[in-house]
Chains A and B, each alone.
Chain A
Amino acid sequence: MIPVLEFIDVSHQFPDSTLALGSTNLQLNPGEFVSIVGPSGCGKSTLLRIASGLLEPSSGSVIRNGSLQFVFQDSTLLPWRNVRKNIALNLELDDVDRHEINRRVDNVLQLVSMQDSAEKIPRQLSGGMKMRTSLARSLVCEPDIFLFDEPFSALDEFSRERLNSDLRAILARINAASLFITHSISEAVFLSDRVLVMSPRPGHIIEEFVIPFGSVRDDELRYTPEFALLTGRIASTFRSIQR
């Protein structure tokens, strides 16, 4: 299987000589969901920016085999555009035909259950709805790779769990790969096929956990002993590297 995204000995040093990312090797396969957890400032976001092409690595190489979409920590919606036009933005920037944009936006609005809010502007939406719109704006491009930079970190627990479930269900329907940065171990376990743990700065991947829960996951999974056990194991690794 050819990975859709591959890091080969990638490292990054900031202009002030801070080594933000140590030598990192990573493979993301088609349709796979991989989460990265690690302490604050370990280089998770740097890794994601390098993956997207927003940042050039100081050394090593990144191979991308497919189109990608970035879902930011903030919803990054244009405040003067309504939900429908915000979702259409990425397609407009890629010069997609107007009829095709309308068709795809209608489909995605249905997919993220936002048909009733299509004409609302961002200031009329809750935090969860804004993030849902941001997600829809990426989904509408039908990319091969999604890059998520802590997209649900600003949400309350209830909205976060709901969006986790919805994201898992949506991604199960399309064959896209996802690289997901998060601080929440339970979120990483619920969403992922693999969870990678990063060391403190200069960050590099120190441990990998394979999540054996299959592709269809319901909310009850979070309350099973297996889920708690796996979350505990990752948390234990996390604690040991922070000492």
Chain B
Amino acid sequence: MIYVRTIKKTMVSLVGPTAVFVAFISAWYAVAYSLDNNFSPASGKPMIVPPPHRLFEDFSGTVRDRIFTALAISTRTALTGLAISAVLGVFLGILMAQAKWIERSLWPHLIALQVTPIIAIVPLMIRLIGANFTARVVVTVIISIFPIVSNTLFGIQSVPQGLRDLFRLHNCTRFTVLVKLQLPYASPAIFTGLRVSAGLAVIGAIVGDFFFTRGDPGLGQLITFFFLNNLSGPMFITALFATLLGLMLFLGFGLVNRVVVGRWHETSTL
């Protein structure tokens, strides 16, 4: 009985994603072969959407080097931004959980930061900092910090009254309550925030790159370059690497969550 249930469970977890993947690839082929003027009459090369099997035709030499260099730059930007967001976000979440007036003072500004379009921030960043690595990181932090702050705050505020009373009865300091109760209790929520922010940090690093148009080209600038030069294959590969980067960070945090949170919380699965 348990054996049958395991097979059923495996089938459910495999069949669904495989079916969606097959549907996606089929739709991709359908679009590639139904578009007018998708293939060059002279060389036969795809111009707009390359079919999946022809995606890596131009992935060699300079193109490959440029993509890997851009990937390294965007990865560095995303990871630096995410690391700053994680430290600053958890700190702000903890700070806001200490008193209602601190929460009320900071919350509106964080929401304002969250809803401000990135295109409105980039010119200011260029004027203040220049079109350099630091500016890109600042943009990444602005985009990715909010889920970490809100989830840290939510996690700490979710500690049940009984547990808070238990620590109060022992006259614990704020630091002891934070370290022994609030942070461990909030850790599943913090990791959920980190996973969301990991995706946003990649978006921040790439979208910010689109707007900077100067400095070392990351994946965003490279996509623009391939687009302007009608190199649709490399453009798709670059986008694919951007997706993989986001996915790796998302899965990475899932793994860290599993190690740190362990088996006590139901969210500690990949």
B30-70: CB near A (< 8 Å → 1, else 0) gives 00000000000000000000000000000000000000000
CB distance from B204 to the nearest CB of A (A): 32
**Contact size class for A?**
10 to 19
Within 8 A of B (CB), among A82-100: 89-90, 92-94
**B169 / chain A contacts, CB cutoff of 8 Å:** 52-54, 70
**Contact size class for B?**
20 to 34
| B165 lies within 8 A of A54 (CB) | yes
Known: A54-B165, A76-B160. A121 touches B170 (CB 8 A): no
A239 at the interface (CB under 8 A from B): no
B172-194: CB near A (< 8 Å → 1, else 0) gives 10001000110011000000000
Which residue on A lies nearest to B167, using beta carbons?
Answer: A93
**A93 / chain B contacts, CB cutoff of 8 Å:** 167, 170, 172, 176, 180
B109 at the interface (CB under 8 A from A): no
Which residue on B lies nearest to A137, using beta carbons?
Answer: B166
B8 at the interface (CB under 8 A from A): no
**B168 / chain A contacts, CB cutoff of 8 Å:** 54
Task: Offer 7 A-B interface pairs, CB within 8 angstroms, sorted by A.
Answer: A52-B169, A73-B162, A74-B162, A80-B264, A90-B170, A121-B264, A122-B264
Distance of A79 Cα from B160 Cα, bound (Å): 12
**B111 / chain A contacts, CB cutoff of 8 Å:** none
Distance of A121 Cα from B262 Cα, bound (Å): 11
| B162 lies within 8 A of A76 (CB) | yes
Distance of A72 Cα from B167 Cα, bound (Å): 12
Within 8 A of A (CB), among B142-177: 160, 162-163, 165-170, 172, 176
Interface core residue of A53, A73, A93, A121 (most chain B CB under 10 Å): A93
A155 at the interface (CB under 8 A from B): no
A123 at the interface (CB under 8 A from B): yes
Distance of A75 Cα from B176 Cα, bound (Å): 21
B265 at the interface (CB under 8 A from A): yes
| A70 lies within 8 A of B262 (CB) | no
Distance of A89 Cα from B170 Cα, bound (Å): 10
| A79 lies within 8 A of B170 (CB) | no
B263 at the interface (CB under 8 A from A): yes
**A54 / chain B contacts, CB cutoff of 8 Å:** 165, 168-169
* Cross-interface CB contact of A94 among B170, B184, B263, cutoff 8 Å: B170
CB distance from A142 to the nearest CB of B (A): 15
* Cross-interface CB contact of B163 among A52, A53, A78, cutoff 8 Å: A78
Which residue on B lies nearest to A124, using beta carbons?
Answer: B263
Which residue on A lies nearest to B169, using beta carbons?
Answer: A70
| B166 lies within 8 A of A76 (CB) | yes
Distance of A159 Cα from B85 Cα, bound (Å): 48
* Cross-interface CB contact of A70 among B160, B166, B184, B263, cutoff 8 Å: B166
**B184 / chain A contacts, CB cutoff of 8 Å:** 78, 80
Distance of A94 Cα from B176 Cα, bound (Å): 11
Which residue on A lies nearest to B187, using beta carbons?
Answer: A80
Known: A70-B169, A78-B184, A90-B170. A121 touches B160 (CB 8 A): no
CB distance from B175 to the nearest CB of A (A): 12
| B265 lies within 8 A of A72 (CB) | no
* Cross-interface CB contact of A76 among B163, B172, B261, cutoff 8 Å: B163
Which residue on B lies nearest to A74, using beta carbons?
Answer: B162
A111-140: CB near B (< 8 Å → 1, else 0) gives 000000000011100000000000000000
**A90 / chain B contacts, CB cutoff of 8 Å:** 166, 170
**B166 / chain A contacts, CB cutoff of 8 Å:** 70, 72, 76, 89-90
Distance of A28 Cα from B169 Cα, bound (Å): 20
Which residue on A lies nearest to B163, using beta carbons?
Answer: A76
| B165 lies within 8 A of A78 (CB) | no
CB distance from B73 to the nearest CB of A (A): 39
| B170 lies within 8 A of A74 (CB) | no
Which residue on B lies nearest to A141, using beta carbons?
Answer: B170
| A79 lies within 8 A of B162 (CB) | no
Within 8 A of A (CB), among B242-269: 261-265
Distance of A74 Cα from B166 Cα, bound (Å): 11
Distance of A227 Cα from B193 Cα, bound (Å): 56
B88-126: CB near A (< 8 Å → 1, else 0) gives 000000000000000000000000000000000000000
CB distance from A35 to the nearest CB of B (A): 21
Distance of A76 Cα from B176 Cα, bound (Å): 17
* A-B pairs, 5 with minimum CB distance: A76-B162, A93-B170, A72-B162, A80-B264, A79-B264
Distance of A121 Cα from B264 Cα, bound (Å): 7
